[in-house]
Amino acid sequence: MILPEYYEFCCRVKTVAGHRALEKISPELVRMNAKKPMIITDKGVAGAGLIKIVSSAISSSKGGKTSVGAVYDNVPPDSDLKIVQEVAKLYRSKDCDSIIAVGGGSVLDTAKGVNILVSLGGDDLMQYAGSGAVKKKLKPMIAVPTTSGTGSEMTLVAVIADHERNVKLPFVSYFLLPDVAVLDSRMTRTLPPALTTSTAIDALTHACEAYTCMAKNPVSDSTALEAIRLIAGNVLNVVKKPGDLEGRLALANGSALAGMAFSNSMVGLVHMLGHATGGACGVPHGVCMSIYLPYGLEYNLHKTSHLTAELLLPLAGPEVYAATPKAERATKAIAVIRKLNQDLHEATQGRHARFLKEVIDRDGKQMVPKDALPTIANTAMGDATQFYNPEDLDFNDCMMVLEHAWEGIPLDLKKVKKGGKGIKF
Amino acid sequence: MQSPGDYGFFYQAKIMAGTGAMANIPVELDGFDARHPFVLTDKKTSDSGLPRKFVKALGESNTIIGALFDDVPAYSSVSLVKDLAQFFRDRGCDSVVAIGSGPVVDVAKGVNMAVSTGADVLGFEGVNRVPGHLKPLVVVPTAAIKPFDLTGNARIDGRKFSSAFLMPDVIAVDPLMVRGCCTECVLDTAMVSLSHAVEAYLSPSANPLSDAYASMAIRLIAEHLQKSLKRPGNKAASMGMANAAVAAAAAFDNQPVGVVHALGMELSLLTGNAPGLCMGILLPAALEYRRQMKQEARSELLMAMEGFDAYAGTPAGQRGEKGLRSLQLLFSKIAVLPRTLEELRVPRFKADEAIQEALKANPSLKKQDLSAVMGLAMKGVQ
Amino acid sequence: MMHYNKYPEIKPGLKLLKRMYVVTMLFVFGRAFQAVSRVDRGAKEVFAKMPDDFVLDFCVVPNGPHMVVGKDEKGRIKYMGWNPAGKKVTIYMKIKNMDAAFRMLTFQESSCTATSRDRLIVDGDLPTACGVLHIMDLLEVLLLPKFLAKLGVKRYPKWSQLSPVRKWTSRLLTYVRLVA
Amino acid sequence: MQEIVGTSNKILEVDLSTGVTSIGEITDKDRRDYMGGKGLGLKLLYDRLKPGVDPLGEENIIAFMPGVLMGTGAPCSGRFEAVTKSPLTGIMVTASCGGPFGMALKTSGWDALIIRGAAKNPSYLFIDSKGAEIRDAKGVWGKDTREAQAALEKEGASVVIGPAGEHLVRYANLCSGHRFLGRGGMGAVFGSKNLKAVVARGGEFKIVPVKKKKFDKARKTLNRYISRNSITSGSYRNFGTNANVNLSNAAWILPVRNFSGGSHGEAHKISGETIAENYNTKYHTCKPCSILCGHKGTFAGKERSVPEYETTGLMGSNLEIFDPVAISEWNEICALMGMDTISTGGSLAWAMEATEKGLFESDLKFGFAGNISQTLKDIAYGKGVGKELGMGSKWLSRKYGGENFAIHVKGLEMAAYDPRGAFGQGLSYAVANRGACHLSTSLFTLEAYFDMASPKAKRGKATMVKFFENVYAALNSLHICHFTAFAVFLEPPLVKLSPTPVLKLLTQNITPVALAVMDISLWPELWSSVTGKRLGMLGFKKVGERVHVLERYMNTREGVSKKDDTLPGRMLSEPRKCDHKERTVPLDKMIGRYYRVRGYDKNGVPKDRLLRRLGIEKK
């Protein structure tokens, strides 16, 4: 096990998981001296009837110590300051004392913003922007993710847009972390297959990158391996049998583990390109991840082949691992990921994209035209995750990877510029 | 993979491990709006010059050490906690740093309870009695660190305090501080960590998160124990063992107390032997008992013990067995570890008393299991 | 009763030698930033992408030293000295402590390694911060002999990426401007 | 009357479970190697007692060993030893007593009585020259020590337990006459064996020394020394051991408020001098005795024994109570109930402090005398809070916390000398075989009373402790009263004529030499003249070493090691107000040296080489 010269690991979030995990929300609130939570969510979640399950689980607790104080179910996908202020106002008027965020990234970011306002007072979120500006414990907050992938319930960052001035305000502080993340299989049961696959592969990417990038550490390694095993072993089954609650829970667990791993060890090339593609062409994050993952591993192969080789075990199981000669394990691992993408592609009747050129929006239009690649590469050069990637990248390198990924052909390893020694952890 | 079912997992401590870890403490404290730590340690640590290294590492920061109290005795006591809490307030401190292990950390947690709530700590005895978040607590482990210290438990004046709020906020594992002083001390820590990790790993309620930490601890110990015992001062090995202790703490804190821990702690209290020695004898016995009871050993144990190649290279049916054997082999290689409780001179009647006490402290355990494991440990496992 | 006097308040000391070294290096780096922005093609490209109000404070927390670099009214990169007071800093890059700064500036840890070891806190626009780190890598390549620079960067550029002509002209000109 | 010349060498062994009695013989080798008393008793147990048995179980064995000098008329020789495994500490305990039972046992013709097993019903043991008989104790069970002895008086002299022993109070003692086998809870061992008493008829044999002339000479010299020494014929004879109160108070080693202070302004109220003045004291001693330290007096109109210094210290100043009448009353209760006053006082003090700190619930309070009598009875009868107090302070502190101020070593409560004022005594407490025992070296006398060694120095203390441990172990095997040591050490011309500062310089700086030239030949002379076996001064010290190491080795078989050789947390980390230099015992620095001097390994276990040299067969 590699012990780096120095590492940090922190996961202040309590994880509660299971088929009936929602019922634990109430005792958790009581533990934190809260009685009257406010639920923050978006239309999609509310529309799927998930809020009903959550609120009944909270209210039906023994002794009736907790009850839902208010529900705000109108968080838009690109939430901003105004929404935060609006929700905070509702929170105050209903005298709530804690927050439950049900949903994905946008809901969670909004909830974090609301928590800052209602805990620290005032209406001005600006003064808390930046890293480390929030220095006090905030109100109890519980996150209930409805997709298994983003891992945003484990991150200490919140990004909230100010549409008036057209800026995105980052908030970074350990106190922004939710106190508890509740993973309940009921919350992801109704997720459509395409979304299931992309979020699952998103989590898989987190884990794979956490294991192979610069800031890896023993804790993130352990969690990443566990995550890969859970996801790789279950995703196909769940897509084929959407009602498989055990599988759903395994995916949720895997994504929580992956979230723990990557929020501490950071990620590299795959996310660098992924963020850029999302930013430039609006491709959903999960889709980008599943496309770029094999390329990211391939690009770094000359520096991290020993680590990539180890991924084969959780990805494909011990039999395949033992049967593969040592030197070929890394490439085999990448092949297994490609095969997984292919299988998912088939299982979802083509909705799971394998290559960039396959990515289509709701109207069936290609989302990433080939001439968008330079824009993507340019955006990527401004993404901080590149520093965690074991190998350096410049604009040309990005273009080279993007072109391969667009066409869907494996990377030509000869084109990768190699330099420097192996990485030191 | 075992089916995890419903579970909860919580380990809030931020782990900072490696070169320069202590130098980062001021930044972490600043994140809590704290600049005035109250530092606790004991004479032994103080004599070895470690607190000086800590002070030096804090150089060039705005942090002012309110007081460096280096007289924590071998037993943590409520009255000391009271006195120190007053001291803490008089100096206007805002956070607690514990350098060391055992009573130092216990007292630090006690002081933190007292100064954060302003109440008598005795009122918080028991499970989940601490009312809310406390002031930031930083633990700087030394070689003698036990996983127990890094959990949400404290033992003051023989009373047990257990609450998630007692968990340290930051653990700074610095190679300057964790170098072992002697084989006995290394063995003690290693055996406690290993017992906690293995028990958490083999627990029926193991979940993926506790597994991740437990397997990390086992793997680090399997890799570093021999070297560490041979050369207690070796940096890499010491860091391996200290990291293992932290990981074992995370796993241990999220799993119910197992037979080895329960018996080991009581035996240690009753006979004064180091807990590591007791657990080091009890663990092989507990594994043997599992085998006798035909309880399946988890195959992943082999992976944690010997790595990927050995795991994958072993046929599926034999992995569990081989993992156990590997663990037993690890034990048999430790020359300084007594093999039986008789060798450790634990009289039978004390062993019986320990079983009674363990049952009293952990009513969920079964008496027949405890007696059987103790019986095997008395005579040793062949 | 506790004898308070036995446990005095301790103010951790200074690390003067380390501080002096870091001050010097930051001064050199600051000047070099300014110099390289005028002479190197690649650097110019990077700087061009940065916003017009760009002012960077590269510092060791909490008590400095600082290195303030930014764009002046004409949009040229300028070393603005060691004092951030009164300047509208748009991006902070903070090294967590003096030891880490020393380790980084003595090239025991490359900037990437330092980042992945959480020694660096970036507060501000991330793409700009990436640009700054790119320039730092470039500076290391230009200012330092190859054997040292190799320690500092992930991938020492080959001929194809950085032609010897550009490397040596930039290197010379930067040095000239730095000293002058 | 039949005569025994020297020693009878006969062992009487009784198994209470089966009722079988057997007679054995002490071998000549054992006699030479271990003399008698404590040493021989330990050796007999070493041959018989398996390690790891429950002290309160059937398998435990208790041995009574009358001294070799007993019955010969040697000064201060009226003492016998008992050896067993202590329920308080779980390790070996030896105790000595000046009661009449010893003489009766010896003059019944037995040099050792070994009792094992456990009787089914309350019983007592009757012994005469023919052997032993287990008799029904229905009539005496439940009686206090005085009533029980009175009831058995017509059968002979007895050693009995009081209610405390019957209720298994862990520090219950054995009583014979008005003297006690005080420490380590031998009474509970009796209680666990359903044994109320052992009665010996006595008077069947007469003991004569082998070399009468030589014996008379030695006896006379010793008597002369005793009558010349200012302690044995002065302060102890006049004021009893309570003469120590003022000395201890001046030297800051008097326990005050559970050992949180070392001296007290009111200490003079309980000093031997004050008591002698106010309470009409008279001699009340062991027989035969030439020192006469035991006294009785009239307290509040009742005649009671004058409490010994340990009782005064632990149940007086240590509880912050300075009322001699009250202390004498509690001393009386402890005597009747059959409880060790040191451990009782230590446990009470712990309870008071723990109550004060909120760790323990009781109505005991420092300085409050009102409820102590009742509490003592509750302890003896195992009622209410007394049931737990009767387990001793180690057990209590493990259950309720407060380990720092549980003043015991290895479970045995500390005697009334605070080691923070005498570091050598501190080392001695930590390594003493039976626990925090003041009698293993009594180094406090040299350090704090006579100023013959610097109390706050570390140097030389390991050697001193070893030397005195050996000497006292030999004394206890001889068996002669400890206090003869004052006379034997201080009265020979060399010491007598040297000025104290010179002696101090020598003992402190060339400790081994200074100790080697001490003339203690009187004791071996007494022994060889009685038994007819040759023994020199060196041989005498070697027997002491053998006895001490054997006991240590037996204890290591019960799990004792370095971890147990420590002092209460308070002694190591809490300075006292009276000491402005805030000293605590630097034990860590002395103990390693002690192990080296002793020939123990780093963990405190006797090395094989040492055992071979002393002829102790490893088991």
Q: D617 CB contacts (<8 Å, ≥6 apart)?
A: D611
Q: Which residue of C has its CA nearest to A379?
A: C127
Q: List the beta bridge partners of residue D68.
A: none
Best C97, C103, C104, C108 residue to mutate vs chain B (most B CBs within 10 Å): C97
Please, what sign has the CA dihedral across residues A115, A121, A125, A130? negative
Q: CB of D558 within 8 Å of any CB in chain B? A: yes
Please tell me the predicted confidence (pLDDT) of residue D201. Answer: 93
In a domain, D528, yes or no: yes
CA distances from D361 to D347, D385, D386, D401, D450 (A): 14, 8, 12, 12, 42
Q: What is the mean pLDDT of residues B275-293?
A: 90
Instruction: Summarize pLDDT for D24-80 with one digit per residue, the tens.
Output: 999 999 999 999 999 999 999 999 999 889 999 999 999 999 989 998 988 888 899
Tell me the domains of chain C and their CATH numbers.
15-179 (3.30.1050)
Domain membership of residue B32 as a residue range: 14-178
Residues of C in contact with D577 (CB under 8 A): 1
Together in a domain, D436 and D532: yes
- Flag whether pLDDT at B4 surpasses 70: no
Least confident of A90-99, A122-131, D130-139, D582-591: A122-131
Instruction: Summarize pLDDT for D519-546 with one digit per residue, the tens.
Output: 888 999 999 999 999 999 999 999 999 9
Q: What is the mean pLDDT of residues D85-94?
A: 94
Together in a domain, D79 and D132: yes
In a domain, D230, yes or no: no
Total number of domains in chain D: 3
Residues of B in contact with C5 (CB under 8 A): none
Residues of C in contact with A213 (CB under 8 A): 116
Contact B350 D90 (CB under 8 A): yes
Domain extent listing, chain A = 14-186, 191-415
Together in a domain, D314 and D255: yes
Question: pLDDT confidence of B198, banded at 50, 70, 90?
Answer: very high
To the nearest whole number, what is the mean pLDDT of chain C? 84
Do A101 and A156 meet the contact criterion of CB atoms below 8 Å apart? Answer: no
CA-nearest of B181, B194, B182, B185 to B48 is: B181
Contact D358 B274 (CB under 8 A): no
In a domain, D524, yes or no: yes
CA distances from B97 to B75, B135, B319 (A): 18, 11, 43
Complex confidence, ipTM: 0.89
Instruction: Summarize pLDDT for B107-140 with one digit per residue, the tens.
Output: 999 999 999 998 889 889 988 888 888 999 999 9
Do D135 and D125 meet the contact criterion of CB atoms below 8 Å apart? Answer: yes
The rounded distance, in Å, linking the Cα atoms of B40 and B51 is 9
In a domain, D223, yes or no: no
Please tell me the predicted confidence (pLDDT) of residue C13. Answer: 85
Neighbours of chain B (3+ CB pairs under 8 A): A, C, D
Tokens 């009357």 correspond to D1
- Flag whether pLDDT at B2 surpasses 60: no
Together in a domain, D152 and D267: no
Listing DSSP states for D528-575 in one string gives HHHH-----HHHHHHHHHHHHHHHHHHHHHTT--GGGS---HHHHH--
Together in a domain, B188 and B302: yes
Least confident of B292-306, D413-427, D593-607: B292-306
Expressed in angstroms, the distance from the first to the final Cα of chain C is 65
The DSSP secondary-structure symbol of D606 reads B
Together in a domain, B56 and B140: yes
Do D446 and D452 meet the contact criterion of CB atoms below 8 Å apart? Answer: yes
**Residue A135, SS3?**
coil
- Flag whether pLDDT at A153 surpasses 80: no
In a domain, D105, yes or no: yes
Question: pLDDT confidence of A420, banded at 50, 70, 90?
Answer: low
Identity at D162, one-letter amino acid code: G
Total number of domains in chain B: 2
CATH of the domain at B244: 1.20.1090.10
At residue D20's C-alpha, the angle toward residues D14 and D21, to 5°, is: 50
Please tell me the predicted confidence (pLDDT) of residue B16. Answer: 92
Burial D448-470 (b: 16+ CB within 10 A, else e): bbbebbbbeebebbbbbbbbbbb
Q: CB of B30 within 8 Å of any CB in chain D? A: no
Together in a domain, D511 and D606: yes
Together in a domain, D392 and D435: no
Together in a domain, B139 and B208: no
**End position of a domain, from candidates B143, B178, B213:** B178
Tokens 């292919």 correspond to A342
C-beta atoms surrounding D29 within 10 Å: 10
Residues of D in contact with C3 (CB under 8 A): 582
How many angstroms separate the CA of residue A381 from the nearest CA in chain B?
29
Q: CB of C3 within 8 Å of any CB in chain D? A: yes
With a pLDDT cut of 90, the percent of chain A lying above it is 18
Neighbours of chain D (3+ CB pairs under 8 A): B, C
CATH of the domain at D518: 1.10.599.10
Burial C113-139 (b: 16+ CB within 10 A, else e): bbbbbbbbbbbbbebbbbbbbbbbbbb
Q: Just give the CATH number of A191-415.
A: 1.20.1090.10
Tell me which H or E stretch contains D467: helix D461-478
Q: Which residue of B has its CA nearest to C10?
A: B65
Q: What is the mean pLDDT of residues C123-140?
A: 83
Contact A383 C126 (CB under 8 A): yes
Together in a domain, D406 and D435: no
CA-nearest of D330, D64, D68 to D215 is: D68
Q: Which residue of B has its CA nearest to C17?
A: B60
- What angle, rounded to 10 degrees, do the helices at B259-271 and B348-361 form? 120
Contact B78 D401 (CB under 8 A): yes
Query: Who among C9, C13, C62 is closest to B62 (CB)?
Result: C62
Together in a domain, B108 and B188: no
**End position of a domain, from candidates B134, B163, B178:** B178
At residue B39's C-alpha, the angle toward residues B38 and B45, to 5°, is: 165
Q: What is the mean pLDDT of residues C134-144?
A: 83
Higher-pLDDT residue of A382, D82? D82
Q: Which residue of B has its CA nearest to D57?
A: B349
Please tell me the predicted confidence (pLDDT) of residue B1. Answer: 37
CATH of A14-186, one of 3.30.420.40, 2.40.110.10, 3.30.420.10, 3.40.50.1970: 3.40.50.1970
Do B84 and B52 meet the contact criterion of CB atoms below 8 Å apart? Answer: no
In a domain, B1, yes or no: no
Together in a domain, B132 and B207: no
CATH of the domain at B135: 3.40.50.1970
Contact C130 A384 (CB under 8 A): yes
The rounded distance, in Å, linking the Cα atoms of A404 and A377 is 13
Q: CB of A132 within 8 Å of any CB in chain B? A: yes
Instruction: Summarize pLDDT for A175-228 with one digit per residue, the tens.
Output: 888 899 998 888 888 888 888 888 888 889 989 998 998 888 899 999 999 999
In a domain, B4, yes or no: no
Question: pLDDT confidence of B3, banded at 50, 70, 90?
Answer: very low
Query: Who among B5, B132, B240 is closest to A3 (CB)?
Result: B240
Domain membership of residue D197 as a residue range: 2-208
The DSSP secondary-structure symbol of D235 reads I
Q: Which residue of A has its CA nearest to C131?
A: A382
Together in a domain, B160 and B291: no
For the CA atoms of chain C, what is the radius of gyration?
18
Together in a domain, D438 and D585: yes
Together in a domain, B188 and B334: yes
Instruction: Summarize pLDDT for D138-167 with one digit per residue, the tens.
Output: 999 999 999 999 999 999 999 999 999 999
Q: Which residue of B has its CA nearest to D602?
A: B184
Together in a domain, B48 and B90: yes
- Flag whether pLDDT at B251 surpasses 60: yes
Contact A24 B6 (CB under 8 A): yes
Query: Who among B131, B133, B216 is closest to A1 (CB)?
Result: B216
**End position of a domain, from candidates B126, B149, B178:** B178
How many angstroms separate the CA of residue C121 from the nearest CA in chain D?
43
In a domain, D231, yes or no: no
Phi, then psi, of D134 in degrees rounded to 5:
-90, 125
Q: CB of B185 within 8 Å of any CB in chain D? A: no
Q: Which residue of B has its CA nearest to A228?
A: B208
Contact C155 A381 (CB under 8 A): no
Residues of B in contact with C117 (CB under 8 A): 18
Together in a domain, B154 and B252: no
